[in-house]
Structure 1
Amino acid sequence: MRLYGLTGGIASGKSTVSTMLRELGAQVLDADVIAREVVEPGTPGLAAVAARFPGVLGPDGRLDRAKLGARVFADPTERAALNALVHPLVRQAFLEKVQALAAQGVERVVYDVPLLIEAGLQAGMDGVVLVWVPRPLQKARLMTRDGLDEAAAEARLAAQLPLDSKRPHATWIVDNSGELASTRAQVEQVWRAMLARG
C-alpha cells in the first residue's frame, strides 16, 4: 500500500483539497476526525484529557473544544501536554484503519494531517501534498472564517510551522490562492501522479 500525506496550514484550504481528492476516488483518512474519535465520551482518551485539563468537559460530558483550544493555543507547554496525550492514540487508531483498508485491497491512502511536517510524519510517506497560500491571504481567510481579530489570528498562525517552511518537504504543492477551478486542476494532476506511482 502507498501512503501519501496531505498537509497545509490553518485556513490554507486543505479541507477543500481533501474533498476534491475524495471526489476523484482517493481513500482519505483525516487526522482531525480520528483525533475527535479518540476523545469521544467513554474513551480512555477523553478520561486522560479531562484529568490533565480540568474544566474542559461540557455539561453533556463531551469535550468542550473551545475551552480546551483557548487553553492550549495560548500556552505552548499546555499544547505539548495535550499532544503527548492525544497523538499516540491517533497514531494507533490510524494504523488500525490503514490495516483494515489494506485488508479490503485498497492500494493507496491519503492521510490528511494539519501538523504532518511538525510531527515528522513525512519521512514515512510515499509523497506529500502541501496546500499552500501566501501568508497574508492565509491570515485574512482565518480572520474571516473564525471571526478572529488580528492578534488571535497571528497566535494561531504562530502555533504552526509557516507554509513556506513546509515547502521543502512537499512532493507536490497545490497553490490554493486562485480560483477553485485552478486548485481542482492541480489536484487532478497530483492524483494522476499518485496513480502513476502504482
Structure 2
Amino acid sequence: MKTIGITGGIGSGKTVVASLLGVMGIPVYIADEESKKLTDSSPIIRQQLTALFGSDLYTSKGLDRPLLASYIFGHPERLEKVNDIIHPEVNRHFLQWVKQQESDLAAIESAILFESGFDRIVDVSLMVYAPRALRIQRASKRGTASREEVERRIQSQLSDEIKKERANYVIYNDDIRAIIPQTEAVIAAIRRG
C-alpha cells in the first residue's frame, strides 16, 4: 500500500481533495480531527501534557483546549513541546490505521504535513495550492475566523512556495483549473509510480 500526505494552507481546498479521494475509494485520515480525539483519549499524551502544565489541564470532558491555548499562545517553545508530545502519537495512530485499510492507497490530510514531520511517514506528498487572496476570501466566508485570524494563521504556517517545492505533486485550486481532473491525474500517477 502507498500512503499519500495531503497538505495546503487554510482555504486552499485540501479538504475538498481529501473528499475527492474518499469518493474514489481511498481512505483518508484527517490529522486535525484525529489529534483532537487523541488528546482526549491517549494516556501518553495526557500524562505528558499534565506533567508539563498541571492536572487542571484535563476535565471530566477531556482536554481543556482554551486553557492549553492560553499556556502556549505567545510561547513558541511551549508550543514546540506540546507538538513534540502530540505529533509522535498521531504518527503512530496513523500508521496503525493504515494497517487496517484494505486499499492500494491511503492518505493523511494535514495542514502542517511538513512542519509536523508527517511527510516522513508517507510515500508521496500532495500539496493543494490556491492564491493567497483566494484562500483568505474562502476561509473568511466560512465564518469561523475573521480575515485577521485567517491572515495570522497563514503567516504562522510554512509558506506555500516552500510546500510546493517539497511536495511531490501539486493540485491547483485557483478557480481556473478544474480540480477533479487534476486529482484523478495525480492519483493515476501515484498508482503507476
* TM bracket, shorter-chain basis: 0.7 to 0.9
**1:3 offset after TM fit, Å?**
1.6
* Paired position in structure 2 for 1:14: 14
Whether the aligned pair in 2 keeps the contact of 1:71 and 1:78 (CA below 8 Å) is yes
Counterparts in 2 of 1:123 and 1:45: CA distance versus 1, 3 Å: closer
The match for 1:136 is: 133
Query: What does residue 61 of structure 1 align with?
Result: 61
- Give, in angstroms, the shift of residue 74 of structure 1: 3.6
Question: Is the CA contact 2:14–2:128 (under 8 Å) kept in the aligned structure 1?
Answer: yes
Matched, 1:148 2:139: no
Unmatched 5+ stretches in structure 2? none
Q: Deviations over 1:88-127 (max 9, x none)?
A: 11111112112233xx4x3221122221112344345332
Shift of 1:156: 1.5
CA contact (8 A) 2:8 2:128 kept: yes
Question: Who is 1:28 aligned against?
Answer: 28
* Unaligned stretches of 5+ residues in structure 1: none
Partner of 1:80: 80
Residue type at the aligned position of 1:89: E
Q: Supply the AA of the counterpart residue of 1:126.
A: D
Q: How many angstroms does 1:2 deviate by? A: 1.3
After TM superposition, the structure 1 stretch with the greater mean CA deviation from structure 2, 188-197 or 69-78, is 69-78
Correspondent of 2:186 among 168, 172, 190:
190
The alignment partner of 1:40 has SS state of: helix
Tell me the matched-pair count. Answer: 191
Identity %: 27
Q: 1:56 to 1:124 in 2, by over 3 A?
A: closer
C-alpha separation in 2, matches of 1:130 and 1:29: 16
Describe how 1:77-116 pairs up with structure 2 within 5 A.
77-101=77-101, 104=102, 106-116=103-113
- The DSSP-based 3-state class of the residue aligned with 1:38 is helix
Q: Does the aligned pair in 2 maintain the 1:41–1:61 contact within 8 Å?
A: no
1:52 maps to a residue whose letter is L
TM-score (norm 2): 0.83
**Is contact 2:2–2:104 with CA below 8 Å preserved after alignment?**
yes
* 8 Å CA contact retained: 2:12, 2:129: yes
Deviation at 1:26, TM superposition (A): 0.9
User: 1:131/1:45 Cα in 2 relative to 1: closer, same or farther (>3 Å)?
Assistant: same
Q: Which amino acid aligns with 2:49?
A: V
- Aligned position for 2:43: 43
Question: Residues 83 and 165 from structure 1, CA distance in 2 versus in 1: closer, same or farther, beyond 3 angstroms?
Answer: same
Offset of residue 144 of structure 1: 3.3
